[in-house]
Structure 1
Amino acid sequence: MSPEESFRAYVGGRIAALSRVAYLLTGDRHSAEDLVQVTLVRVARHWERLIRSGDPDGYVHKTMYSQHVSLWRSRRRDAPPVPALPDRAGPDSTASVADALVIRQALARLTPKQRAVLVLRYFEDRTEVEAAAVLGCSVSTVKSTTRDALARLRALAPELADLAGTASNVSAAPNEGGGR
């Protein structure tokens, strides 16, 4: 299989998962699409080297998280903050849709770094060491950022405690799983 064919096969098999992660990071479908596109363009430049070295997933994820932070920083410098736009959709009686909105709004209240750490730790179920490697920071930074992000969520979005069952379940989340 040629490098171009293997890249197309990889993208075809991973695009949905990459898009979900990008959406969780950005909180916006269009920004997520941009993030995935920028990531894949950068990955394509090094594809032959990546497939020779084995599984390219680690490089792809590290590139995505790095690009997310870089894009966020450049947008922050270029554009003044815009107030949140009101929801235009009517009320939805489906509980799962309401839960998704609560989670989306809560994630939007976090900094991009906090959001990236929580997505890595709880959506992708990565260890602190893996998250630190992807983000290019220390394990202690991942721990403190996780702690701060969860504290911020508890303060700004107490309704998340209802989704987790009780507030004590949310408080215990960072310590579950043997320190992960």
Structure 2
Amino acid sequence: MDHHDGFREFVLARQQALMRTAYLLVGDAHLAEDLLQSVLTKIVKHWPKLAKEGNPEAYTRKALVNQYLAWRRRPRPEVLSAAPPERAASYDNATLDRIILRQALAKLTRKQRAVIVLRYWEDLTEAQTAEALGCSIGNVKSQTHHALARLRALAPELADPYLQEVVR
């Protein structure tokens, strides 16, 4: 029996979801790949115990968030412009809204962005988000409130109704 039985299958089965989480956290495909690879390299060392006793996906998600939050000294990967791109024939309203939302997300603190990603894109409960972030449910509620308020302030044009659909 191999020391890492099941790890390859876990990665193949959950890679896309984990990559999506990593991408939403860092906002850059290459950095997301680096983040996920870094986390998987650490997880493989603990795989036998994790596979037997734990919830590998929740553990991996928490490790992604922790690693992302630890990258504080790294520069932000996204280049932001002072204004959203002009409406061109090649952009539809949904595309522009996604660009504006992505720019607004990039201006959140790392913890606020992590809360928004986990709560609304990963559809985790407040308790699951608190567990992934290693904080209290009250802290998740507070971070969510502040993050949503900041998103509404940064991108008021998305407040009705698009931001509410995307974030809820």
Higher RCO (CA 8 Å, separation ≥ 6 residues): 2
Matched, 1:45 2:40: no
3-state SS of 2:142 partner: helix
Aligned position for 1:147? 145
Structure-2 change in CA distance of 1:55 and 1:152 (3 Å) = same
3-state SS of 1:74 partner: coil
Q: CA deviation digits over 1:143-177, x for unaligned, max 9?
A: 11000000001111112224527xxx57x95xxxx
TM-score (norm 1): 0.79
**Runs of 4 or more consecutive aligned structure 1 residues displaced over 6 Å after TM superposition:** none
Structure 2 Cα separation of the partners of residues 74 and 68 of structure 1: 11
What's the Cα RMSD here?
2.8
Farther-moved stretch of structure 1 (34-43 vs 50-59)? 50-59
Choose between structure 1 and 2: higher helix proportion.
1
Aligned position for 1:74? 73
TM-score (norm 2): 0.85
Aligned position for 1:119? 117
Residue pair 1:99, 1:163 contacting (<8 A) in 2 also? no
Count of residues in Structure 1 that have an aligned counterpart in Structure 2: 164
3-state SS of 1:159 partner: helix
Structure 2 unaligned segments of length 5 or more: list them.
none
Identical columns (%): 47
Aligned position for 2:100? 102
Map 1:18-97; keep pairs closer than 5 Å. 18-71=18-71, 73-75=72-74, 84=79, 86=81, 91=88, 92-97=90-95
Structure 2 Cα separation of the partners of residues 83 and 63 of structure 1: 22
Structure 1 unaligned segments of length 5 or more: list them.
174-180
Structure 1 Cα separation of the partners of residues 29 and 145 of structure 2: 27
